[in-house]
Structure 1
Amino acid sequence: MFVVAVTLTLKEGAEAAFMPLMTENARLSRETEVGCHLFDICVGENETGAREVFLYEIYTDAAAFEAHLQTRHYKSFDAAVSEMIATKVVKTYDEVIR
């Protein structure tokens, strides 16, 4: 399994417009991508009080994640939210221990 952890800090006032787009992207990823096994969205405040979105995604392998980045729904989502995001940190992990 291949894990992707994304931390997004939203610009002030962006959450209301961002979240419907985020949930739709996650739904389409889970429902249409064979290699996407999990796509969780967590929302809270970071240490500065800014709204933060944490994504926890599990794919079959790195190739499945790369395929996700090429989907129409991801590209549409990415273009629509680019101006709503203040910072974005993506980390990947290639091993899941249970």
Structure 2
Amino acid sequence: MYAVIVTFTIKPQYQGAFLPLVIENARQSRGEAACQQFDVCANSDTPETVFLYEIYDDKAGFETHLETAHFLEFNRIATDMIEEKQISTYTQVVQ
């Protein structure tokens, strides 16, 4: 199991446009063979913060995700909307 946590800080003028893009990326990602879970979370107290929780079979599955057409399109469109992006990855210790 390979977990990916992404926290975005969205530029204020793009908050309304970013969420539909990331939700569509998540929807398409859930159809990938190695993707077990892909959640999009928003913080009502800080609307500029969007949090992703992704689970893949393994690191190779995540790396495949990064090469998909839908991710590359999302990344191309969303990059200028993002003020800050933090990525953390984890592997399962005990099954």
Normalised to the residue count of structure 2, the TM-score between the two structures is: 0.93
For the residue of structure 2 that corresponds to 1:93, the secondary structure is strand
1:13-41 CA distances to partner (integer Å, 9 max, x unpaired)?
A: 2111111111100000002x100010001
Provide the aligned length of Structure 1 versus Structure 2.
95
Rounded Cα–Cα distance in structure 2 between residues aligned with 1:27 and 1:20: 10
CA distance change for structure 1 residues 63 and 83 in 2, over 3 Å: closer, same or farther? same
- Any conservation in 2 of the 1:21–1:77 contact (CA below 8 Å)? yes
Superposed CA offset, 1:64-97 (max 9, x none): 0000000000000000000000000000001165
For structure 2, which runs of at least 5 residues remain unmatched after alignment? none
Runs of 4+ in 1 over 6 A off after TM superposition: none
Q: Is the 8 A contact 1:2 1:96 kept in 2?
A: no
Cα RMSD (Å): 1.6
Unmatched segments (≥5 aa) in structure 1: none
Equivalent in the alignment of 1:17: 17
> Is the Cα contact below 8 Å between 1:35 and 1:65 reproduced in 2?
yes
